[in-house]
Amino acid sequence: MTYNNLIAALVIMLALCAVPSMAADPSTTVEGQLGVTDVAIDPGVFMYGDSGTVKVTVTNTGTTSVAIARAKLYSNELDVMGDENYGSVGSIGPGNSLQFTFTVTADAADGIYYPLFYLDLRDASSLRYRVPVKVENTGLSVSVTDRPDAFTSGKKEDITIMVGNPRENTVNGVVITPAMNGYETTETSHFIGTLEADQAAEATFAVTPYVETPMEFTVHYRNGMNDHEVTIAVPVIFGTDRKQAETVLNNIAVTPEGDHYIVTGDVTNAGLEDAKSVVVTTGAPAVPVDPYRSYVVGALEPDDFASFEVTFYAEPETEDIQLVTNYKDKDGNLYSSQLTLPLESAAVSDKKSPVAGDDLPIVWIVVVLICAAVVAGVIYYSWKKK
Partner 1 sequence: MMNITDLLLRPAAFFPGRIEGDKPDLKMPLVIVLLYGIVSALSAANVSSVTMAMMPAEIAGMGTMIIGIGVVSAFIGALIYWVIIAAVFHGISALRGGKGDFQRTLAVAGYGALPMIFGSILSGIIIYFTLSDVTIRPISDPMQVSAAVTELMSTPSMQIAGVVSLLFVLWSANIWVFGMQEARNLSGKDALITVGIPVLIYCLMTILPLIW
Nearer to partner 1, 73 or 286 (CB): 286
Per CB under 8 A, 258 contacts partner 1? no
Per CB under 8 A, 362 contacts partner 1? no
Which range touches partner 1 (CB under 8 A), out of 4-12, 134-142, 208-216, 362-370?
362-370
Per CB under 8 A, 357 contacts partner 1? yes
Distances (CA, A) of 299 to 99, 154, 304, 336: 72, 21, 9, 15
Shortest distance in whole angstroms from residue 283 CB to partner 1: 19
Which range touches partner 1 (CB under 8 A), out of 15-23, 208-216, 270-278, 356-364?
356-364
Q: Max alpha carbon distance in the chain (Å)?
A: 196
Per CB under 8 A, 67 contacts partner 1? no
Cβ pair 174, 220 in contact under 8 A:
yes
Cβ pair 302, 273 in contact under 8 A:
yes
Nearer to partner 1, 212 or 320 (CB): 320
Cβ pair 23, 126 in contact under 8 A:
yes
Which range touches partner 1 (CB under 8 A), out of 51-59, 68-76, 131-139, 360-368?
360-368
Per CB under 8 A, 233 contacts partner 1? no
Out of 22, 124, 197, 379, the only residue in the binding site for partner 1 (CB under 8 A) is: 379
Out of 14, 18, 237, 346, the only residue in the binding site for partner 1 (CB under 8 A) is: 346
Distances (CA, A) of 317 to 289, 320, 321, 342: 18, 9, 11, 12
Nearer to partner 1, 146 or 320 (CB): 320
Nearest to 307 by CA among 266, 247, 249, 246: 266
Per CB under 8 A, 365 contacts partner 1? yes
Nearest to 207 by CA among 236, 177, 186, 182: 186
Per CB under 8 A, 340 contacts partner 1? no
Distances (CA, A) of 58 to 27, 30, 38, 42, 62: 8, 15, 7, 18, 12
Number of residues that bind partner 1 (CB under 8 A): 33
Shortest distance in whole angstroms from residue 148 CB to partner 1: 41
Shortest distance in whole angstroms from residue 256 CB to partner 1: 8
Q: Pattern of binders to partner 1 over 297-326, x per CB under 8 A?
A: -------------------xx---------
State the Cα–Cα distance between residues 354 and 365, nearest whole angstrom: 12
Cβ pair 269, 301 in contact under 8 A:
yes
Q: DSSP states of 242-305 as a string?
A: TTS--EEEEEEEEEEETTEEEEEEEEEE-SSS-EEEEEEEEETT-EE-TT-SEEEEEEE-TT-E
Shortest distance in whole angstroms from residue 314 CB to partner 1: 10
Query: Which residues of this chain interact with partner 1, rule CB under 8 A?
Result: 316-317, 342-350, 353-361, 364-365, 367-368, 371-372, 375, 378-379, 381-382, 385-386
